[in-house]
Structures are given as structure tokens and as C-alpha cells.
Structure 1
């Protein structure tokens, strides 16, 4: 059904696939992010840690993993963009966002409190994954994978103990919901609620089934056809992912910097601001890429489409 030109377009069948999009400069942005990545790899050289250091502070492992993964995500996003698959990189943004939130949260805790919660959350995730595998494939297959029934039963007991520990910690911090703190609560504690509200739900749609995202991916044409492969929209998503991965890397770097030494994060001493400035200026000149582009609502510089 056609919609009045005075109303915002919500239906995918009314969006025009020929709208202008900031993804038009995707090639230039891809080149700029690749240049930034080369500098970032010199600024943030991720090496192997000392086991004893990690046992004393699990945040060190989190920092090491987060920065390595984000460097790899930027590199993957550049590769995907050059293969016209950059829109898939939006999935990487969610992990980088949560790095900012969780590292900011754990960084504000006293070391003893951080260790207790981090270990409990880690043990819970590990036990839950292993026991889910057991439930799915059965003990016979698990035995072929070297897991004995006695070992698995011990993990079951451990999971129950960890649940008790998590509930005690929950009572201490009073987070809402289940045994684990919610992402919204973590963001609030880390002072990142605005960033969470902007990115978290949107990046979830890139990972999970979402009616809204499915509708968003459908673009109409005056000839009456529908496409889920709008080149302009895919370029916009790719540009958005590249932009956010750079910005979130910067925020993660700042949140992690106090722990760099023991987290085995080094810097190329020959790197100077003169090396970084042209790259940063290049990215700044490209500007921010919005999560939702006006063309998704059939808005143009001259007003609503069809006026």
C-alpha cells in the first residue's frame, strides 16, 4: 500500500534503492582505515603474557584479547570491504562495543572484587558451554572426545557452585535480571550508557533474527521490484562498521592503557605523532557515519521523497 509523502516511510517496499548514501566514499574510507590499522599495529603491539601476571589480574587477559581481536576485526573489515562484503562487518562492532563497556566496568573495580567476579563469570561460561555440548551429543560421543562421565559430573557440580557464587555477588552489586549482570547494567556502571543505547540493539540485529533488520534490508524501486542487495545501503553499512571499529578501538585503547605493561601491550618506539597525524586527519575529514541514514526513511536533502 502506498504511503503519503508527508509521512515517514517505515515499510521496506517504499524505500528507494537509488538514494544517495555516505557509503559513496567507501573506497576512500577503506584506504584510510587500512592506513590507520598500520599505525594502530605499531602503537599497539600485542604479545604473549606471563601466566603468573594473568592469574593475579584477569583483566590483563581481557585487555590482550580485546585489542588483538579489534586489530583483527579492522583488518577483516578492510578485506571484506574490498570484496564488496563490508556490510557483514557490522557484526564486529558488537564485540568492540562490549570491550569498551566491560573493560571500563572491570577497570573501576578493586582488584579483589574484579578477580572474584571475572573468575565466576568465566567459570560459568565454560561450564555452561561444556554441559550444553554434553546434552546435545550425549555421553557416548563425549567419551570419544576424551570427556569421562566422572569429569562431566564434576563440571556439573562446579556449575552449581558457581551459580551460588554469582548469586552472592549479584546480591552485593544488586544488578537486575538473572545470574549474570545485564549489558545495560554494565554499560551504566562503566559510564557508557549513551553509547550502549546507540549501538547495542542495532548491532544485535546484525547477529540475530530481527524483523526490523529484515525490513531494513529490503529496498524498493519505482518499477515495483524489491532487492535485498542495495549496493548503496550495503556501502553505507560497510562505512558505518569501518567508522565505528576505529572509534571503538580508540576508546578501548584508552580504557586499557593503565594495564598495558603487564598485558604485554607494547609500542613501536620509532612511531611519532608525525606518523599518526596525517592518518588521523584523513579519518577526521571523512566524518562520522550515522547508524541510520535518512534515505531509510525516504528523506532527501530536498525533503521527503516524492514531494
Structure 2
């Protein structure tokens, strides 16, 4: 199978994603500026800005991939975006002061772990050649222990889940964060499933290599990028990249404190969101992947009907 001929990018999803990212950038750019307040940064606001910027970049990247017949690879952007939406929602639930202190402790833990891991790999001479002081690993170890103690205190105060040793799991699992933010179904559907795109997965490997039988039952050469896989994975990536940014904006906007949104910009964003919604929730897996003839025919008919509905809606000005 020639995947360039049989696996075209979904024009509907691509056009909707392009409109969406332009509208989202117009909406958010005025609020993604400097955030330093007094002598300390508002870390929750910083996290909100960085996550929005990163997801806008992810959508732009997914669009470029789709235009170059690589749209199925955009799935790798979904797992971090999903986690960001959930964490930002949680950080706004616990209040600004706790959120800023928690983010400071988590930052310290992340940085000190990186320093320690790098010295373990590169050695003291390697660290020195990079310009680090001789005692950097010792100081990082002290900082790591301090951050871990702070996070245990946060865990006790915020009711984080505990391990078998009665210590808080710090930071808490994303599954727990999702439950606290009423995002459990989204976690089960999207976050867990997309792990197969960023980790070694026997299931994912099998889905990328397909074998076919002809009418006489003879095997054909294996296809490593079937058209149906390419098409719906491209739609899946574009749809969910945009949808997760909406979730992130809902969580992050209170921290950005927009004074007033221009009516024209707001209406353009609403129209762009409506176009994304018109794509429909794209599934993680489709029957056609299983080479079930009657199911393959049904899904092709369903896709054809959906495209006809969208075509009529565009002609009538509803999209």
C-alpha cells in the first residue's frame, strides 16, 4: 500500500486546527507576558503561561506533521498536554499561596535530581568541565532531601495518597490529580491510552504492522503504515491537541486575570472551538484495524456520512 496515495491528511481536521490555533493565539497573547510580582514570581501564573505556550507550539507542530504526511506522530503531544490541564486545575483548587509553595518544592526536587543524575553519569570531572562547582552534587543532595521533606508536609496537609510505608506519594499520581478535578474519565480514556505512544508498547508495535489476505487467502506484503491508521490518528492528534488546550485555558485563565476580552476575538475563538467540536470525538481504536470486512465497510460508510454532513453545514454557513 502506498501511504501517500491511500492515507491523505484529513483536510477537515487540519483546517479546523489551523483556525483554532490562530484564534487561540490572538486570544491569549495579551496575557502571556511578564509575571514577576514584587520580589518573588507567581509560580502558578508562570506554570499557566508556560503550559499554554507549550500547547500552542504542540498544535503548530501537529499541523506541520499533518501537512507532511506524519500527522499520526502528533499523538506524542497529547500525554503532556493532558497532564498539564489536570495539574493546572488542581493548582487552582488548592489556592495561590499553597500552589506557589508546592511548585517551588517540586521545582527544587526536579532540578536537584537532574544535577545528581548528571554527576552520576558524567562524573566529577565531567561536571567540572561543564562549569559546575566541585560541591554541586553535595548541595543538590541537601536540596533534594529538603524538598522531599516539604512535599511530605504538603501531602499530609492536602490529603495525598500514601504508600505501603505510610509515606505520602509525593508528588501524587496523575490519576489521583484527575479524580480531584473531576477528570477521571478523561484520564482513563486519553492519558493512560496515550502512554503507548511515548513508551515501549507491544500493542502499539502490532498496530503499526498489518498483514492482509486476498480473496484466495494468500498473504500480501506487510504494510507498516496503513491508510486507516494514518487517517484517524492524524484526526485524533489534531482534535485532542486543540481540545486539551481548551481544558488548559479553562484551568489557567483565572491566574492570568484578563481584564476584558475583545468581543471580536472572543467570537472568533468560539467559532474555532465549534469547528473543532464538529470533527467529533475521534476514537483511540477503530474496528477497521482488526480487518473485519463488515466493520471496515461500516466505518467507511460512517466517515462518508460525516463528511457529507460537514459539507452541507459549510454550504449553509453553520460551520
Q: Is it true that 1:83 corresponds to 2:68 in the alignment?
A: yes
- Tell me if 1:34 matches 2:25: no
Contact in 2 for aligned 1:94/1:204 (Cα 8 Å) = yes
Using the size of structure 2 for normalisation, the TM-score is: 0.80
- Choose which of 72, 76, 82 in structure 2 pairs with 1:97: 82
Cross-structure match for 1:116? 101
Change (3 A) 1:167 1:281: closer
Aligned in 2, Cα 1:204/1:267: closer, same or farther, shift over 3 Å? Answer: farther
Matched, 1:232 2:228: yes
Structure 2 alignment gaps of length 5 or more: 164-168, 214-218, 300-319
Q: Deviations over 1:38-96 (max 9, x none)?
A: 11111111533232269353110110001101111111100110001111110101111
- Structure 1 residues 33 and 174: CA distance shift in structure 2, 3 A: closer
**Residues 163-172 or 192-201, more deviating:** 163-172
Tell me what 1:188 maps to. 179
Give the aligned CA root-mean-square deviation in angstroms: 2.7
Alignment of 1:269 onto 2:255: no
CA distance in 1, matches of 2:229, 2:84: 27
Return the structure number with greater relative CO, CA threshold 8 A, min gap 6: 1
Instruction: Look up the SS of the partner of 1:44 in the other structure.
Output: helix
SS at match of 2:20: helix
**Which whole-Å deviations, capped at 9, do the CAs of 1:159-188 have from their partners, x for residues lacking one?**
112122222322332324443211111111
Quickly say closer, same or farther: Cα 1:215–1:226, change in 2 above 3 A: same
Alignment match of 1:217 (pick from 208, 214, 223): 208
TM-score between both structures, scaled by the size of structure 1: 0.83
- List 4+ stretches of structure 1 deviating above 4 A: 265-268, 301-304
1:301 is displaced (CA, Å) by 6.0
Do 1:104 and 1:255's aligned partners in 2 also have CA atoms closer than 8 Å? yes
1:5 corresponds to which residue? Answer: none
Q: Which of the two has greater helix per residue?
A: 2
After TM superposition, list the pairs within 5 Å mapping 1:271-286 onto structure 2.
271-276=264-269, 278-286=271-279
Deviation of residue 17 (structure 1)? 11
Q: Are the counterparts in 2 of residues 74 and 245 from structure 1 also a CA contact under 8 Å?
A: yes
Q: Deviations over 1:198-250 (max 9, x none)?
A: 11121111111111211222212113332222232122111101000111111
Aligned-partner Cα distance in 2 for 1:286–1:84: 19
Q: Deviations over 1:117-137 (max 9, x none)?
A: 221111111110111011001
Classify 1:280/1:161 alpha carbon distance in 2 versus 1 (closer, same or farther; 3 Å).
Answer: closer
CA 1:136 to 1:41, structure 2 compared with 1: closer, same or farther past 3 Å? same
Match of 1:260 in 2: 256
Tell me whether 278-287 or 162-171 shows the greater mean CA deviation.
278-287
In structure 2, relative to structure 1, the CA distance for the partners of 1:122 and 1:54 (3 Å cut) is farther
